């Protein structure tokens, strides 16, 4: 980049430059120690320091070529003076657009016609503005009623619009050698309520980190269990009892929840396994807590669609201008967006004939959630006007001011130029002047002249105060619902299995004739009915509840079995009245005598079989030694 002193020196030299009719200026370069000099032309301006794009295929301007062009240029200057040109353009606000006056005259506006007006004053010509029948650039497959049809047929002398340089159109028109700018088409979408990087409980880690955490949570418990079993078998240590798989799995889960453990391993290897998992969980939870705080307060806002690949992989609907650079870049095979052609076939891409960008923004983006693809100057003007309108609705709420967000990565980048009919010599006059306008930054200035210097509606609005929403805590609700649903499913499974087991047990005893009256009818109420009776009787013992540590009435002494309950209370407390007025010992008398249980020979020993209050069968030994031990275990 040239310094200020160099620019001043160059300006002073230009004052001394001869006019066009004289010989062109040259610089003297010393060739050797003999002091001789040789005249050569000035080097071209550094491309990297200019907005213009240098074409490496363009011929190098030498002193000889410039001298040959001078007479031709003078002839063209004489020819264009006072000439009337027909200039075609497109409705592409703010770069080029037209207005029809009351007298029917069409007047051109925008950056393109500000450049044309400059050329008009420079070369003293007049012009009229025409537009194609359809507001499209055109292509070999979309040629009729297009702009390139007018240029190709020489109906117009020049196309004053920012026309993207596409490969298929080169055989129909001649693009200007001076690139006005490198057009960037940007995506505009509805501003999402939360960042695409996530929010809430899952935000601190990406998807695969959560998957690996879940895998480790499921795998570490069995791994610890297997290593403990392997260690005991290899060492033959009988002092430490191996923990069960359930204990190991519960230890892993409890450590993840920062809970303590009742497991106290003795072996050093087992202690190291436990300590390793604790250290891993400590580091993991520390990172999670810190990142969660950062995401809820200082996280960078990102959009769900930033590049062309996001549109393609997620099959997102998008809309762009009919007959614009985006459409032809997709439909043309050798262009950069040709991979999106199948989205047109699947109706994911819409090309609107409406030239009003505000209409497209409201109809497609705001109402239907489409992504709007438009060139950057039009996007900036459109969002700025929408911002000014919405600020009249709400003065202080930034979310109301900026309901749309603009992606930072360009959807498409193309050089844009004016276009001439093939064989036209106007480019030799206009292109050098256009190059001066581009290099001086005037074209870029004109494109941004009506915009503020600050960025309009950036991705991150920069608000520091943020209250937690339900969306941030949605994962906690999901966890609670999943936990309750799982518990309900397990509880239902327990009830089903308990019912199935009771039915199997009842059928087993029924095959032996136990629990039935002499006429073959079952006298034992169902287990569900017995549990309901216990609840209503006020005993407070739930179905299947553990009776350890409770004062449960033991079965009657074996002597009372033979004397018909002469001892009174013990036997009566183990009986329950039936519908026919009989009493069943031990809750339900299992067949046989109505005053006692059923005597059975089991494994070579005599037993009296009773039903206890919880529905289980109780065996009371009949032989004296066994009966004494049985009685002692219940009463002493």
Contact 428, 76 (CB under 8 A): yes
Domain boundaries, the chain: 207-235+242-297
pLDDT tens digits, 225-260: 888 888 888 887 767 778 888 888 888 888 888 777
What is the pLDDT, as a whole number, of residue 533?
52
* The two three-digit tokens of residue 244, written as one number: 């069960």
- Give the integer Cα–Cα distance in Å for 371 and 97: 24
Enumerate residues 6+ apart whose C-beta is below 8 A from 326. Answer: 185, 320, 337, 373, 411, 412
State the burial class of residue 457 (Cβ atoms within 10 Å of its Cβ: 0-12, 13-18, 19+).
buried
Looking at every residue in the chain, the average pLDDT score rounds to 77
The response to whether 460 counts as a known ligand-binding position is no
C-alpha–C-alpha distance, residues 557 and 620, integer Å: 9
- pLDDT interval class at 455 (50, 70, 90): confident
* pLDDT confidence of residue 200: 65
Q: How far apart are CA 69 and CA 76, in angstroms?
A: 10
* Rounded CA separation 115/131 (Å): 18
Residue 557: predicted pLDDT: 56
Which of 339-343, 366-370, 567-571 has the lowest average pLDDT?
A: 567-571
| CA 303 – CA 405 distance, rounded (Å) | 8
Alpha helices per DSSP H over 394-522 = 398-401, 426-439, 442-447, 474-511
pLDDT 10s digits, 482-519: 989 999 999 999 999 988 888 888 777 666 555 555 55
Task: Give CA 389 to chain center in angstroms.
Answer: 31
Residues 285-302: pLDDT tens digits? Answer: 888 888 888 777 766 677
Q: How confident is the model over 564-579, as pLDDT tens digits?
A: 444 444 444 444 443 3
Rounded distance between C-alpha atoms, residue 218 and residue 224, angstroms: 11
> Which of 62-71, 189-198, 314-323 reaches the highest mean pLDDT?
314-323
Q: Which of 82-91, 207-216, 388-397 has the highest mean pLDDT?
A: 82-91
**CA 519 to centroid of chain Cα atoms:** 72
Cβ pair 421, 173 in contact under 8 A? yes
Q: Give the residue among 611, 613, 607, 609 at the shortest CA–CA distance from 627.
A: 607
Give the integer Cα–Cα distance in Å for 487 and 586.
Answer: 35
Cα–Cα distance for residue pair 374/114, rounded to 1 Å: 22
* Inter-residue contact 101 to 293 (CB < 8 Å): no
* 515/524 Cα distance (integer angstroms): 6
**509 touches 590 (CB < 8 A):** yes
Give the residue among 194, 400, 397 at the shortest CA–CA distance from 296. 194
User: What pLDDT score was predicted for residue 391?
Assistant: 87
What is the C-alpha to C-alpha distance for residues 196 and 189, in angstroms, rounded to an integer?
Answer: 13
Token pair for residue 251?
A: 């230890």
Distance CA 598, CA 561 (A): 10
pLDDT value, residue 588: 36
Given this model, what pLDDT does residue 363 score? 94
Which of 131-140, 354-363, 446-455 shows the lowest mean pLDDT across its residues?
446-455
Closest CA relative to residue 623, chosen from 611, 605, 597, 636: 605
Alpha helices in 332-407 (DSSP H): 341-345, 357-360, 376-393, 398-401
For 604-618, how does the pLDDT look when each residue is reduced to its tens digit (9 = 90+)?
Answer: 677 788 777 666 777
Given a cut of 70, whether residue 394 has pLDDT beyond it is yes
Per-residue pLDDT, 474: 78
Q: What is the pLDDT of residue 624?
A: 61
Q: Which of 4-8, 193-197, 568-572, 575-579 ranks highest by mean pLDDT?
A: 193-197
Rounded-to-integer distance, Cα 220 and Cα 253, Å: 10
Q: Among positive and negative, which fits the CA dihedral 370, 374, 376, 380?
A: negative
Give the CA-trace dihedral at 104, 108, 109, 114, to 10 degrees: -140
């Amino acid at each position: 980049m040239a310094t200020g002193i160099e620019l001043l020196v160059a300006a002073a030299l230009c004052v001394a430059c001869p006019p066009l009719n004289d010989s062109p200026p040259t610089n003297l370069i010393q060739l050797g120690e003999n002091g001789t000099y040789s005249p050569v032309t000035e080097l071209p301006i550094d491309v990297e320091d200019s907005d213009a794009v240098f074409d490496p295929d363009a011929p190098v301007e030498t002193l000889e070529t410039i001298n040959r062009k001078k007479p031709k240029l003078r002839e063209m200057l004489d020819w264009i003076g006072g000439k009337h040109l027909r200039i075609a353009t497109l409705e592409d606000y703010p770069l080029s657009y037209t207005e029809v006056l009351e007298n029917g005259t069409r007047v051109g506006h925008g950056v393109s016609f500000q450049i044309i007006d400059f050329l008009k004053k420079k070369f003293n010509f007049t012009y009229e503005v025409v537009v194609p029948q359809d507001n499209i650039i055109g292509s070999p497959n979309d040629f009729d009623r297009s702009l390139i049809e007018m240029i190709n047929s020489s109906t117009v002398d020049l196309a004053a619009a920012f026309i993207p340089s596409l490969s298929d159109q080169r055989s129909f028109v001649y693009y200007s050698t001076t690139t006005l700018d490198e057009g960037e088409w940007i995506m505009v979408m509805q501003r999402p309520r939360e960042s695409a990087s996530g929010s809430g409980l899952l935000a601190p880690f990406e998807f695969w980190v959560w998957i690996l955490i879940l895998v480790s949570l499921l795998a570490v418990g069995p791994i610890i269990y297997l290593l403990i079993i392997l260690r005991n078998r290899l060492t033959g240590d009988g002092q430490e009892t191996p923990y069960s798989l359930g204990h190991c799995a519960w230890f892993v889960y409890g450590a993840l929840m920062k809970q303590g453990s009742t497991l106290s391993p003795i072996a050093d290897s087992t202690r190291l396994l436990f300590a390793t998992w604790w250290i891993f969980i400590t580091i993991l939870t520390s990172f999670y807590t810190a990142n969660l705080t950062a995401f809820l307060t200082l996280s960078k806002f990102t959009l769900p669609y930033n590049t062309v690949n996001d549109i393609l992989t997620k099959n997102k609907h998008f809309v762009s201008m009919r007959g614009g650079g985006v459409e032809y870049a997709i439909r043309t095979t050798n262009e950069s967006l040709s991979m999106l052609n199948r989205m047109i076939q699947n109706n994911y891409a819409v090309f609107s004939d409406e030239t009003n960008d505000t209409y497209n923004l409201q109809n497609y983006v705001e109402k239907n959630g489409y992504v709007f693809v438009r060139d950057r100057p039009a996007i900036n003007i459109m969002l700025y006007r929408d911002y000014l309108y919405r600020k009249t609705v709400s003065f202080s709420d930034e979310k109301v001011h900026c309901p749309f967000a603009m992606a930072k990565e360009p959807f498409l980048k193309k050089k844009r130029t004016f276009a001439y009919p093939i064989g036209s010599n106007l480019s030799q006059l206009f292109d050098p002047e256009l190059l001066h306008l581009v290099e001086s930054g005037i074209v870029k200035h004109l494109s941004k002249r009506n915009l503020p210097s600050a960025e309009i509606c950036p991705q991150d609005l920069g608000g520091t105060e943020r209250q937690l929403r339900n969306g941030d805590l949605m994962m906690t609700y999901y966890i609670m619902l999943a936990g309750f649903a799982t518990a309900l499913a397990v509880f239902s499974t327990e009830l089903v299995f308990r019912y199935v087991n009771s039915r199997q047990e009842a059928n087993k005893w029924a095959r032996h004739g136990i629990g039935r009256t002499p006429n073959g009818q079952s006298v034992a109420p169902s287990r569900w009915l017995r549990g309901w009776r216990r609840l209503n009787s006020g005993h407070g013992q739930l179905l299947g509840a553990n009776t350890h540590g409770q004062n449960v009435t033991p079965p009657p002494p074996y002597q009372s079995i033979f004397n018909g309950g002469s001892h009174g209370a013990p036997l009566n407390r183990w009986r329950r009245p039936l519908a026919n007025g009989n009493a069943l010992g031990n809750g339900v008398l299992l067949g046989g005598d109505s005053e006692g249980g059923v005597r059975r020979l089991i494994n070579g020993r005599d037993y009296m079989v009773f039903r206890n209050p919880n529905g289980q069968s109780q065996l009371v030994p009949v032989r004296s030694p066994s009966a004494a031990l049985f009685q002692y275990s219940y009463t002493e």
